[in-house]
Structure 1
Amino acid sequence: MADTFFTLHCKGQEDPIYISEVVEKAMNPTFRFFDLSSFGPATTRLDTVTVKVWVKRKDFTPLIEEEVNLQSLQFIGALKNHPFPPNCILFHLVDGIYTIDIASKPPKPKAAESLPTSSFSALMRLSNLDESIQDALATREELTSQINAILHSEPKDDAPQAEEELALASRYVAAEKKLLKSSIRRRAELKASIKSRSDAIKSGNEVQAKVLDDINNAQDKLSDCRSLLTTATADIHGQRRRICEELLNIFPIEPTTQPLLFTICGLPLPNSSFEDADEDVVSAALGYVARLVDMLQYYLAIPLPYPISPYGSRSIIHDFISILSDNQRTFPLYTKGTVRFRFDYGVFLLNKNIESLAESQGLKVMDIRQTLPNLKYLLYVCSAGSSDLPARKAGGIRGLLTGRGMEIGSRRGSADSGIGGGQGEAVRRALENGGVETKGPSSIKKAGNGAHPHPPAPFGGNHVHSLRTSGLRENVIR
């Protein structure tokens, strides 16, 4: 193994046109690719080149010197499965691998017939033209040398350069002045912005300090409000339990001997099939259910998606959600004198209301067609609890206290009539006005002898009264 490099030579040039890198200690050296396009067409258009391979023993000496005609190269494609003679040179060009035979020589030109050439006068004219061109080139070279000598002998004039530098400096000065003015204006704007921000920060700090003081002062109130909220929430839950318990007593829902068939107030209500049931009984039972569901929306504070008008056995339900004409949004909860499919859809909407109330309490309804079982389950869960039921608060409806402080006469001429007399009239008017005390001239005159000027209120004193208000609670203005 030896160090190797190669050189390329062209005819008519003493120095090599390319010298490769040295590949150290290799039996079959491979050299990197190179490009000769920078040498111009005089070199790149040659079809013959001399390749010299140099090896190092003590010093570099030529091992192979081969004149290669590129047109006689043999294309081999790939190196595999191809025998090569010793000291074979391979050329890897852009389109593949080529080789030559070491012993081959460039072919000698073959003898050919002489061709006619130009005439003597034409050759003389061509010679004269060549001499004229050479004279012109010599004249150009002489003029170039004279101009260079004159330029070197005369002193250098720095005035144009100085003027150019002065103009450039003037432009720089003008640009710097413009930049300075812009910087001064920007500085003033930043100062104004910083001042406004400082004022805003100062104002914000003052507001923050005030808010912190308010927060510190409101901590005690917050704890009191939280305790009041907890107490009120517990009271509301207890009152809802009591109301649901009373509703279970007012509208008892009891099972029958048939599976999943319940009665409300003693009236059986089928779950889905109403063909064999008495129409009047079904209408009355649905009236009770409509009244109970309508009251539950107020006691549980859950608005029904389908409003109900509880008119007893002629109750109706409204669908303001579906895409229907306005005169088709009311559906009956009774079968007599109505279209059957409208009655079935009304029962479906009633069951959807029960499902909405159940979901508000975290209950999952498995079958919405089971009207009374779902309703009993809802009331049972709402009335369930480990603590005792709270007592009903005295006073009930504010409208019942409108007779306090007023001179209320008695239709019977006696104060013994109690709530059935003047107080009953006051209760009736209070309920008609939505629980708000009416103002204006009173239509109740002072009673004669024996009438009390200030009769006791219906829920005055320390007595605990129980007043059934089913169907009236929703009309009270809260």
Structure 2
Amino acid sequence: MSAITERGVLRWKEWMPLVTQQQRLRSLIQVIAYNIQVKDDILSKHKVKKLSYYFTLHLSTMSAPVYTSEKLESENPKWCEVNIGQQYGAATGVVIRLWVSINGEADYEVTVWGLFFSGLMYLGPRVLNTDPSALGSNSLIFHMYGGYFTSPHCFLNPHPVTPRTLTIQMNASHTKPSYNVNSLLRLQTLQQAIKKQTTATAVLRERISSGCAINSEEDSLIKGSAALRKLLGKPVTPKVNPDKILAIKMQIEMKKFRIQMLVEEKDRKAALVQKLAVIKDMLAEKNQDRDTELMDRYFMLRKNIEKRKEFRQQLIETRTHLAQTAALLDKRKKTLMSQLSLIYPIIQSPNGNYTIREVHLPDSEDFDGKDELMISVALGFVTHLVQMMSFFLNVPTRYPMVHFGSRSKIIDHISENISDKDREFPLYARGKEKHLFDYGVYLLNKNIAQLRWCCGITTTDLRPTLLNLSALMNLTTKQNEIGSIMREWNRTRTEEKHPSLSNSLDRGLDCVTDTPSDPNGSDCHEYVEKQRVRYESAPVHDLASLMSLDITCKSYDNINGSHAIQSYNKDQPMTVPNEDLLTRE
């Protein structure tokens, strides 16, 4: 039996620089490479460069490798431990070749060393302090018993070499006498005896397991010695029945099998208990983390509650400030609206007529026989006045207006059956196109009704243009309406359940499904007359009565195909629904 110490047995931890200290291949534990550089002509042969490195150990330059390492892709690979068979462990030197494998297809030699283990330079018990930048390209470091070694030529700068000595002074507690010849002989004899005993034990175990405890040679020996035992007077041992022996062996095997099964069950239960213990520890750790998280959230919740109280107080203060600001804004808007009377004074003459800047503007249906130029001038004043009111109230009008003095215009973007080029309507008379002028005045009156509704004033008749405007400019004198003007205005602009006037007018205009938009070949005048009679007899209860003329004009426009707009009914008073009607819609 070999007396070589196994790899796992602990040896002396530190290498000693003795002249007699020798290294063998069996002392090699690990190989580490630094700063591997592959030649450019090798890399240029391959497009995709996935490099992996490994090394081989040879007993000579022409021999096959006795060991091949695994492949690593790092430029500073650190291979696993070297496992060399005992038949090569006594080698004092080897040839080591470093290889590169490109894409796992082709292998190329990077460098080759002829290595003599006893001639390596000692680096120290650890390699952590080794700086790769101090080493040259393709440097190899060998981990052996006692520390790390390398070749002197691997360093870029000269490195001090540890001198070898014949003797070393050491502490007496760290030394002990070596074996002499007699001790070595006794040790060898003991090893041989142990080996023989082990071999005999293995043979006996095999015979017992096969059930052949007595062979033919032993049987003849027993028969030959029977006469001798009789002469000596010793009783002959009766022969045991083989069937009983076989039965006993069977019982023994059954017991062994049962013991083995119980051991396996015990191991399985132990593994299960260990697994449950691990799960218990994991759950305990998770519960602890959750407790910590819940505690953090609890503190965060308390902070958020305190912040919520502060935010609530700030909200109350902000609302108070907002109410004060809204009141000031309300007052300022009323002041600006009242001051518009200084720019465009609207005065009622003794005969009951209203004038704006001393220019008389009749009601919308009383333009016949009046001075068209003065009417155009007055409508230009009204257009400018309505634009300024819309700006002060911050309310965009339903129908945009273009102020050009006595040549002002108004645009209808709402009606669907009007082409884009015919959407502008003049606010001045142009001879034969008087129906366009009447429709433009009608749209202007609707804008005035919109502003009055935003200020909380109902409009029962659209025709008295200057009278409706005068009520808007005299808001500060109406004490019964002061408290509700801006509240209604803010409510209708912020609450979704109260639609704006523009939306209400759209719905009143678009939701009249019982009024056909196309007479389908009937006479246009007859159709318009029927619509007028219908709305004269019907009560004013929704926006359909307000928009009936607009719908008939659309139908008339569809019949003629010229996008002309029919003037509204002069006999039927035009009304705007009050605030409750708009709210219900």
Q: Which one has a larger percent helix, Structure 1 or Structure 2? A: 2
| TM bucket, shorter chain | 0.3 to 0.5
TM-score (norm 2): 0.31
